[in-house]
Amino acid sequence: MPTLLQILPQIPCFLAHTTNRTHTTHPTHNATITITSTTRTNTTLQVVASTKPTKTQSQSPTKTNEDDYYATLKALNSKGRSPRKSLGQHYMLDSSINEQLACAADVKDGDMVLEIGPGTGSLTNVLLNSGATVLAIEKDPYMAAIVGERFASIDRVKILQEDFTRCHIRSHLLSYRKSHSSDDDSQYAKVVANIPFNISTDVVKLLLPMGDIFSEVVLLLQDETALRMVEPSLRTSEYRPINIFINFYADPEYKFRVPRANFFPQPKVDAAVVAFRLKQSSDYPPVSSIKSFFAMVNSAFNGKRKMLRKSLQHICTSVETEEALAKLGLSATSRPEELTLDDFVRLHDLIVKL
């Protein structure tokens, strides 16, 4: 039976000041704590504990306790670390959100999953519990050591201490898959990650064109960024080249919002989960050259609210751009934020023939 001293540290500080009768259940010991308070300082605690194993206690060997605030601090303190702002480190404190992340990607037994920035391993733990084989890329050498030690006894996880934005992810993944060969060598991998907000665009640009090896990319992003990527509005400043890029390579879906209080340290903004279902190359919009297409798109958006006949002058003359726009049923004064992905595809097709 757990002692009072074992349970007390788990009681949130604010309960000591409550004026109501409160019941809370200890997550691992099935202990009910009743707190009755008539003043701020006169508090009576009644602890009713049971040694009956809960679901948490009867987990499989790979499962560990929830990655709450205390577990996160303990992991960081083990290496004398604190979250580094320069690396955008914000650790998830709610394991149920990690479970929703895995669920959004439909992670199941036998899946190969790439995780970016595993931190203390809270999401890694959920992915392993789902039966997946995990390749985790961690830039911070201290965090790579923490998560490596945590799962040292499990052969379904590999930790690479590298900068994801600079590593050769394709070769790493193919090599790791070969060492964990399955009956289905053509199986697509998935990406499930709680990434630093400051590398969101870089990660999206690197992963979305890899539809030949990934089927799904599920990322926890800054909420504002998530909305911009998934639900941009035409004719607004929020509509940018990244929106054309995303819809060219994937079908994005905004899944759910994650309040900032679920992170340590707490960021200044909320987060959100976005799922990108990657397209195969045969499903890409029909362009003669992907490289020249995006060169045209990026040029089109150069200069705030510039008309296309001006921003595309280094590709063709203003008259030629106006004629191409007219063939598409668009105004000669059209600006890039007024064109859909399909409009850009057709415009590119006309321009490359000039």
Q: What's the confidence (pLDDT) of residue 49?
A: 33
In the three-class reduction of DSSP (H, G, I as helix; E, B as strand; rest coil), residue 301 is classed as coil
If you count them, how many residues does the chain have?
354
* Least confident interval from 329-333, 343-347, 350-354: 350-354
Q: How far apart are CA 251 and CA 218, in angstroms?
A: 12
Pairing of strands 112-116, 91-92: unpaired
Higher per-residue pLDDT: 119 or 276: 276
CB contact set of 83 (below 8 Å; sequence gap of 6+): 76, 89, 90, 91, 264, 265
Query: String of b and e for 174-212 (b: at least 16 CB within 10 Å)?
Result: eebbeeeeeeeeeebbbbbbbbbbebbeebbebbbbbbe
Q: Which of 232, 133, 235 is nearest to 184 (CA)?
A: 133
Q: What is the C-alpha to C-alpha distance for residues 251 and 177, in angstroms, rounded to an integer?
A: 26
Q: How confident is the model at residue 342 (pLDDT cuts 50, 70, 90)?
A: very high
Q: Is the pLDDT of residue 1 over 50?
A: no
Question: Mean of the pLDDT values across residues 177-196?
Answer: 80
pLDDT of residue 232: 78
Which residue spans within the chain are E strands per DSSP?
Answer: 22-25, 32-37, 43-48, 91-92, 112-116, 133-138, 157-161, 189-194, 214-222, 250-258, 263-264, 271-278
The residue type of 119 is G
Q: Give the pLDDT band (50/70/90) at residue 157.
A: very high
Q: What is the pLDDT of residue 83?
A: 64
Q: Which of 71-75, 77-81, 119-123, 235-239 has the highest mean pLDDT?
A: 119-123
State mean pLDDT over 134-146: 93
The predicted pLDDT at position 283 comes to: 97
Q: Which residues make Cβ contacts (< 8 Å) with residue 62, sequence separation at least 6? A: 125, 128, 129, 154
Say if residue 140's pLDDT is above 50: yes
Q: pLDDT-derived band of residue 5, with 50, 70 and 90 as boundaries?
A: very low
How many alpha carbons lie under 13 Å from residue 265 in its C-beta half-sphere?
A: 10
Q: Give the pLDDT of residue 163.
A: 94
pLDDT at 37 over 70: no
Reported as a single tens digit per residue, the pLDDT across 253-303 is 999 999 999 987 888 999 999 999 999 999 999 999 999 999 999 999 997
pLDDT greater than 70 at residue 188: yes
User: To the nearest whole number, what is the mean pLDDT of the chain?
Assistant: 81
The predicted model scores a pTM of 0.77
Who has greater pLDDT, 180 or 148?
Answer: 148
The pLDDT confidence band at residue 16, using thresholds 50, 70 and 90, is very low
At 338, phi and psi to the nearest 5? -95, -5
| Range picked from 4-8, 76-80, 190-194, 350-354 for highest mean pLDDT | 190-194
- Which pLDDT band, with edges at 50, 70 and 90, does 94 fall under? confident
Residue 40 has pLDDT above 60, yes or no: no
User: Is the bond into 2 cis (omega within 30 degrees of 0)?
Assistant: no
Cβ(198)–Cβ(89) under 8 Å?
A: no
CB-CB contact of 258 with 273 (8 Å): yes
**Beta-carbon count within 10 A of 289 CB:** 11
> What's the confidence (pLDDT) of residue 185?
52
Rounded CA separation 320/354 (Å)? 8
124 near 136, Cβ under 8 Å? yes
Phi, psi of 227 (to 5 degrees): -65, -40
Mean pLDDT, residues 99-119 taken together? 95
Amino acid type, 47: V
Where is average pLDDT lowest: 42-51, 65-74, 90-99? 42-51
Position 305 scores a pLDDT of 78
- 3-state DSSP assignment of residue 194: strand
The dihedral built from the CA positions of residue 162, 166, 169 and 171, taken in this order, carries a sign that is: negative
